[in-house]
């Protein structure tokens, strides 16, 4: 049974391009036309770059054309300052390459999500730790020139709090502030428990808030806000339907030595699995999202890593080994 078919039945969207790529390539056993993958193994992280180059690739993987960089670092979950510093540097290096900023560039940082819900508070927490400098250039431009860039930041909230589409708020701010680049940070939904709090994705294609949890909002990209958008995300939840399927699949795979039972499993149609899972999760209409109990610490650690990487990559004058002094 193909997982891609089941995901379509369950209406599950994969936020991480690397997961969508692994799913399709694993099922076909072939490279995906129009999609290029490159991997690099570092001491504390694995970096995977997925580049969607053609319309055929877009149709296959379900992601817009562009570059998706995933930093897989399971040690984000640990309380290890030295390792987290190394991961911060890895993320900063990738951001520098992807952004390719001029020295006098102006950047608007957007912390997407709901600050009242911990699994959705990654964006606002990153903004809380970010040092903003745009207002300082009016007071002491000579001292900051070449050392700092103009940074402004905001957490616009969610539609349920403001009554306004986040894309509309950002577009209005962009029209007034006129940044050269928008960086949007958001919590994502993973396709597996192993990736919760351990995989950071950056993309030059913008972001589609809420798509992974079945609550899609207007896209935030260059077309909708009028400015190039870099997206940074980290999974904080997994759809319960995926966990339920993995459990059932794991049980059946234990019967691989029994041809009759395994043949029975392989013969089950995806819609049957979907109906069973829907019945179990019916009180939540299939939209139950699962997050670990230590999500508070996980989001705080992740926010600090992302804010530190932004400080290093956005401000040439910040010492890479002393960036924490510049976090709020």
Sign of the torsion formed by the C-alpha atoms of 196, 200, 204 and 207 = positive
Residues 6+ apart with CB under 8 A from 18: 48, 50, 68, 70, 72, 199, 201
Mean pLDDT, rounded, for 227-256:
83
CATH code of the domain containing 308: 3.40.50.1450
Q: Is residue 260 part of a domain?
A: no
Instruction: Collect contacts of 46-53 with beta carbons under 8 A, ≥24 apart.
Output: 46/71, 46/72, 46/73, 47/71, 47/72, 47/90, 47/94, 48/18, 48/72, 50/17, 50/18, 50/21, 52/17
In the three-class reduction of DSSP (H, G, I as helix; E, B as strand; rest coil), residue 73 is classed as coil
Mean pLDDT, rounded, for 321-327:
81
Between CA 265 and CA 26 the distance in angstroms is 19
Q: Is residue 257 part of a domain?
A: no
Q: The domain containing residue 185 runs over which residues?
A: 10-243+284-326
Q: Is residue 258 part of a domain?
A: no
* Angle, alpha carbons 281-287-291 (nearest 5°): 95
Domain count, the chain: 1
pLDDT at 42 over 90: yes
Between CA 277 and CA 241 the distance in angstroms is 6
pLDDT recorded at residue 212: 47
Provide the token pair at 82. 């030295």
User: Is 261 or 315 the better-scoring residue by pLDDT?
Assistant: 315
Q: Is residue 250 part of a domain?
A: no
In the three-class reduction of DSSP (H, G, I as helix; E, B as strand; rest coil), residue 140 is classed as coil
Torsion of CA 194, 37, 110, 299, to 10 degrees: 20
Q: Is residue 268 part of a domain?
A: no
Q: Is residue 259 part of a domain?
A: no
Sorting pLDDT into bands at 50, 70 and 90, what band is 112?
very high
Mean pLDDT, rounded, for 231-250:
86
pLDDT recorded at residue 217: 61
Nearest residue to 72 via CA among 235, 208, 231: 235
Between CA 302 and CA 304 the distance in angstroms is 5
pTM: 0.88
pLDDT at 49 over 50: yes
Q: What is the mean pLDDT of the chain?
A: 86
In the three-class reduction of DSSP (H, G, I as helix; E, B as strand; rest coil), residue 294 is classed as coil
Between CA 213 and CA 239 the distance in angstroms is 7
Nearest residue to 180 via CA among 257, 101, 94: 101
Q: Is residue 219 part of a domain?
A: yes
pLDDT recorded at residue 157: 87
Burial of 42 from C-beta contacts in 10 A (0-12 / 13-18 / 19+): middle
Say how many residues make up the chain: 328
pLDDT at 211 over 60: no
pLDDT at 48 over 90: yes
pLDDT at 83 over 50: yes
pLDDT at 213 over 60: no
pLDDT recorded at residue 6: 67
Dump pLDDT digits (tens) for 262-302.
677 667 776 777 677 777 777 766 578 899 999 999 999 99
Residues 6+ apart with CB under 8 A from 214: 11, 13, 239, 286, 287
pLDDT at 18 over 70: yes
Mean pLDDT, rounded, for 158-177:
90
Q: Is residue 68 part of a domain?
A: yes
């Amino acid at each position: 049974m193909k997982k891609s078919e089941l995901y379509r039945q369950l209406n599950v969207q994969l936020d991480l391009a690397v997961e969508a790529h692994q799913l399709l390539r694993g099922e076909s056993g072939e490279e995906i036309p129009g999609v290029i993958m490159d991997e690099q193994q570092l001491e504390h992280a694995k970096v995977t770059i997925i580049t969607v180059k053609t319309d055929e690739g877009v149709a296959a993987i379900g992601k817009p054309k562009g570059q998706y960089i995933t930093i897989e670092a399971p040690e984000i979950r640990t309380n290890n300052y030295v390792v987290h510093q190394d991961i911060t540097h890895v993320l900063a290096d990738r951001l520098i390459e992807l952004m390719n900023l001029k020295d006098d560039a102006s950047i608007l940082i957007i912390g997407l999500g709901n600050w009242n819900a911990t699994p959705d508070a990654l964006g606002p927490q990153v903004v809380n730790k970010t040092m903003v400098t745009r207002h300082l250039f009016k007071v002491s431009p000579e001292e900051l020139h070449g050392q700092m860039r103009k940074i402004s930041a905001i957490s616009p909230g969610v539609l349920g709090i403001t009554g306004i589409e986040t894309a509309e708020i950002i577009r209005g701010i962009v029209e007034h502030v006129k940044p050269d680049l928008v960086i949007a940070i958001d919590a994502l939904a993973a396709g597996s428990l192993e990736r919760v709090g351990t995989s950071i994705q950056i993309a030059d294609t913008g972001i589609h808030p809420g798509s992974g949890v079945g609550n899609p909002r207007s896209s935030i990209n260059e077309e909708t806000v009028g400015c190039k958008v870099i997206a940074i995300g980290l999974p904080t939840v997994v759809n319960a339907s995926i966990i339920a399927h993995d459990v059932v699949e794991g049980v059946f795979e234990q019967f691989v030595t029994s041809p009759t039972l395994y043949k029975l499993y392989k013969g089950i149609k995806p819609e049957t699995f979907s109906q069973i899972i829907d019945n179990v999760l019916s009180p939540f209409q299939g939209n139950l999202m699962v997050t670990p109990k230590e999500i508070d610490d996980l989001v705080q650690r992740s926010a600090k890593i992302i804010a530190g990487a932004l400080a290093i990559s956005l401000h040439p004058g910040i010492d890479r080994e002393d960036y924490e002094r510049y976090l709020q």
